[in-house]
Amino acid sequence: MHSAFDINAIRAQFPILAREINGYALAYLDNAASAQKPTAVMDAMKGQSERAYANVHRGLHTMANETTEAFEAARGKVAAFLGAPSSSNIVFTRGATEALNLCAYGLSHLIEPGDEIIISQMEHHSNIVPWHFLRERYGAVIRFVPVTEEGALDLDAFKSMLGEKTKIASIVHMSNVLGTVNPIADIAKWAKAAGAVMISDGTQAAVHMDVNVQELGVDLYCMTGHKLYGPTAIGALYGTSDILEKMQPFNGGGEMIEDVFEDRVTYNEAPYKFEAGTPPILEAIGLGAAIDWITQFSSEDIRQHEMALYNAARDGLAGMNSVRVIGTTSDKGPVLSFTLEGAHAHDLAQILDKYGVAVRAGQHCTQPLMARYNIHSTARASFGIYNTLDEADRFVAAVRKAALFLS
C-alpha cells in the first residue's frame, strides 16, 4: 500500500503503541473512543507545568501572564483549525458532551411548549439527552430524522420536518458508529432558511476531515480533544458571535462575570461568559499542541491512509457470512461497525483482546440507532493516523478466529 507519510516515524511518536497485550503487539483500533497522544502533546503539558504554570487571566505576575498567553494561544489554534473568524468564537468546554449540554441550556430560554428540535437517529446520546431535558422541562418536541438501511440520513424526511415550529436542528457531522459523513452545509442551509438554529456535533468529523465552520454555515459546532490525539477533559464549542450573544450562560462563578452585586449580576463577553471557574488549563494547551501536531500532515493524505485501512478491514470481513456491517454509505470515515451472528459483541471484543487487538463493543452511546437496526450492540474498529495495514489484517484474522470459536 502506498502511504504518503512515514508511518514508522509517526508511530515512534506514540510510545504506547510499542506495548504488548497478551503477548501480541498492540493493535489499537479504538480511536473513535479515544485516540492515543503523541509525545508532542504530552511534552507540551509537562513543559508548561515545569516552566510556567499559574492560574489564567487574573494574574499580574509573569507566570500567570505566560500561562494565560499559552492558554489563549490554544484557543486561537482551535479557531484556526475550525475556520472560525476569531478566537472569541471559541468556548473551551470539558468535551463535546459539555459543549452540547451548553448549547441546549444556553438556548432553552427560547423554547416554548410545542417548539420542535430536529435531531437524527444516528446521534450520540450527548446530542439526544440534552434535548430530552428541554422536552421534559419546557415542553419541546424532539423529532428524529430517520436513517436509511445503508446508514445515510433521509434528507427528504429532514426537509419535510422543517417548519414554523422548528427552533433547533442538531445533526452529527460524522457518526461514531456508521462512519457516515452528513452533508452539513446543505442541512444548515435548509435549517436556517426555516429560521432554526443549526448545530452540528463535529466530535468525529474534526478528526478525519478539514472542517470550516463558516463554509458549513452552522451556528454552533463542537469538537473534543481526546479523539484528536489530545488530552481528555477538553473540548470546544464554536458559535457565531450572534448566537453566543443570545445564549444564556450555563455555569456561574468566577471569570464569567463582569460585575456582581447583592441584587444583580452582569456577565462577561463571550467566550468568557461560558467559562466559569478555573478552566482545564494544561488540557487546553495540550489540545493546542495536538492541533499543531495533526495539522503538519495533509488531511487528504491522512484520509487516504485511514480509508485504505478501513477498506482492507471491510473487504477482509466481506467473505464472512456471519458478519453484518452496519453503515455502508460511500461518504464515510474510517469506522467499521459490525455484528457477528450468534455472538455478543462484548465476547468478540474480549477474544480480539487476547490477540492484542483493541476494539470497542456495545451500543456506543447510540441506543436509538441500535433500535433502528434492531440490534443490541456492535463491535467497532476505528482507524487512526498511526494504524497500519498489518494491524487491519491482524484484526480480520482475529475476527475469523473468534467467529470459529463463538458461532
Ligand X SMILES: Cc1ncc(COP(=O)(O)O)c(C=O)c1O
Active site residues: 365
**What is the Cα–Cα distance from 11 to 38, expressed in whole angstroms?**
9
141: nearest Cα among 165, 175, 117, 105: 117
Q: What count of other Cβ atoms lies within 10 Å of the Cβ of residue 73?
A: 13
Smallest separation (angstroms) from ligand X to the CB of 57 = 24
Per CB under 6 A, the list member of 48, 89, 120, 126 interacting with ligand X is: 126
Subset of 212-231 contacting ligand X (CB under 6 A): 224
- Asked if residues 71 and 279 have their Cβ atoms less than 8 Å apart, the reply is yes
Q: Which is nearer to ligand X, 224 or 388 (CB)?
A: 224
Could you tell me the smallest distance in angstroms from the CB atom of residue 170 to ligand X?
11
Please report whether residue 170 would count as binding ligand X according to CB under 6 A.
no
Q: Which residue is nearest to ligand X (CB)?
A: 95
**Could you say whether residue 387 binds ligand X (CB under 6 A)?**
no
Strand 116-120, strand 166-172: pairing: parallel
Q: For ligand X, which stretch binds (CB under 6 A), given 113-121, 140-148, 197-205, 295-303?
A: 197-205
Give the angle 274-51-257 at the CA atoms, nearest 5°: 20
Centroid of chain to Cα 382 = 13
Among 125, 180, 119, 175, which Cα is nearest to 152's? 180
Nearer residue to ligand X within complex by CB, 124 or 273: 124
Q: DSSP secondary structure string, 243-256?
A: HHHHSPPSS-SSSS
The one among 37, 75, 77, 124 contacting ligand X by CB under 6 A: 124
Ranges within 44-63 binding ligand X (CB under 6 A): none
Closest among 96, 181, 158, 157 to 130, alpha carbons compared: 96
Cell numbers standing for residue 75: 484557543
Tell which one of 14, 17, 36, 95 touches ligand X (CB under 6 A): 95
Q: Decide: is 36 part of the binding site for ligand X (CB under 6 A).
A: no
* Residue of 107, 172, 178, 369 that binds ligand X (CB under 6 A): 172
Which residues neighbour 242 within 8 Å (Cβ) at sequence distance 6 or greater? 219
Residue closer to ligand X, measured from CB, 176 or 339: 176
CA 140 to chain centre: 25
Residues 114 and 165: beta-carbon distance below 8 Å? yes
Note whether 235 binds ligand X by CB under 6 A.
yes
Q: How far is the CB of 13 from ligand X (least distance, A)?
A: 23
Q: Is 117 in the site for ligand X (CB under 6 A)?
A: no
Q: Is-contact 3 370, C-beta < 8 A?
A: no
Stretch that binds ligand X, among 107-115, 161-169, 201-209, 240-248 (CB under 6 A): 201-209
Q: Any contact of residue 203 with ligand X (CB under 6 A)?
A: yes
Give every CB contact of residue 350 below 8 A, 6+ residues apart in sequence. none
256 Rama sector, left if φ>0, alpha if ψ -120 to 50, beta otherwise? alpha
Is 30 an interacting residue with respect to ligand X (CB under 6 A)? no
Least distance (Å) from ligand X to the CB of residue 18?
Answer: 26
User: Applying CB under 6 A, which of residues 68, 97, 170, 182 lies at the interface with ligand X?
Assistant: 97
Say how far apart CA 153 and CA 147 lie, in whole Å. Answer: 5
Would you count residue 119 as binding ligand X (CB under 6 A)? Answer: no
184 binds ligand X (CB under 6 A): no
Output DSSP code: residue 270: T
Q: Is 204 in the site for ligand X (CB under 6 A)?
A: yes
Interface residue with ligand X among 201, 219, 255, 275 (CB under 6 A) is: 201
Least separation in angstroms between CB 123 and ligand X: 8
* Cα gap 386→38, rounded to integer Å: 10
By CB under 6 A, the count of residues binding ligand X is 12
Q: What minimum distance in Å lies between the beta carbon of 226 and ligand X?
A: 6
Q: Judged by CB under 6 A, does residue 327 bind ligand X?
A: no
Q: Which CB atom, from 86 or from 251, has the smaller least distance to ligand X? A: 251
By CB under 6 A, name the binding residues for ligand X.
Answer: 95-97, 124, 126, 172, 176, 201, 203-204, 224, 235
